[in-house]
Amino acid sequence: DTFFKTKSTPGVYFEAGAMNGIELSNTKPFQEMGWKGVLVEAMPDKYEALRKNRPRDACFQCILSDTSGETKTLNVDEKLPNVSSVAQNNAAHAAHWHKNSKTIDVRTKTLADILRFERTEYIDFFSLDIEGYELFALRGMDWNVRVGVWCIEMLGDKCHAVRSLLQAHGYRYHSNIHFNEIWIADETFKKQGRSTIRYVGPGTDFVTSAIRTTVLTFLCVLVIVALVKLMGSIDVFKKGTRRFAF
C-alpha cells in the first residue's frame, strides 16, 4: 500500500533467493495480483520446484555475483535451506550456520547479464536476500535499469558497503522491516516531496549518524558518573550522621 496502491497496471519484480517461489517468497503476493518478473535461486532442488510453482516467471539457477561464468561453492543446510549461502567472501555467515552443511558447486551470473537477457528496462520491486552475498550481487548490477523499491536483507559486515553502493546510484533509505531495509529511488523521494539532502537514516549520512551515536554515548556516561558521585555523597552523609548521633 505504501508504494503501489495507485498503480493501475501489473508491475515487474525481481527476487533473488526465491526458494520454491511460495514459501518465504516476497514476490508471491505480487504474482497473485498479475505481476510478472525474474526469479533466481541457487539450490538445484529449490530451483526445480520454483519452475513448477512459478511458470509465468523467468527462473534462473545460479549464484549472483560480480562476474558471470565462475564456479563458486554453496553451503547448503538441508534442515534450514533458507540460510544456505555462498562460501567465498562470506566467512562469518559460514561459521555461524554451516559447520556441518554439505557443499555444492554453482555457476555465477551477474544481474546485468540476466537483465540484458530478459530485456528488462525497469523493475518496480526488487527483493534481494542471499545470506550475506548481497554486496557481490549488486556489484554485478546494471544501474541503468532503475528500481522503484528495493527490499534488501542487511546482516553482517558488508552492510555499510551495500548502503554506500545504493546511495551512490541514486537510492535512499526509507524504512526497516525486520532484518530488511527498504530503499527507494531519488525520483520517488522527489515525487513525495521529501528532501534527499536533509533526510537522515541508516545508510544516508554515516558521519552524522556516527556523531549522534558518539554524543549520546558521552551523555550517558556523564549521567552515570553523576549518579555514582551522588550515591557516594549520600553514603558519606549517612555515615557522618550516624557518627554524630546522640
Walk along the chain (246 residues) in steps of 10 and give the mean pLDDT of each run: 85 96 94 97 95 98 96 84 72 65 92 98 96 93 97 90 97 93 85 45 44 60 72 55 44
Which pLDDT does position 110 carry in this prediction? 98
Which pLDDT does position 2 carry in this prediction? 81
Which pLDDT does position 82 carry in this prediction? 73
Which pLDDT does position 155 carry in this prediction? 84
Query: Where is 102: in which H helix or E strand?
Result: strand 102-109
Where are any strands of DSSP class E within 112-215? 122-128, 146-153, 171-177, 180-185
C-alpha cell at 131: 545470506
Q: Are 82 and 114 in contact (CB under 8 A)?
A: no
CA dist 150 and 126 (Å) reads 5
CA dist 126 and 18 (Å) reads 11
Q: Which residues pair with 128 in a beta bridge?
A: 16, 152
CA dist 169 and 165 (Å) reads 6
Give residue 108's identity as a one-letter amino acid code. Answer: T
- C-alpha count within 13 angstroms, C-beta hemisphere, residue 131: 29
- C-alpha count within 13 angstroms, C-beta hemisphere, residue 71: 3
Which pLDDT does position 240 carry in this prediction? 52
Which pLDDT does position 197 carry in this prediction? 34
pTM: 0.76
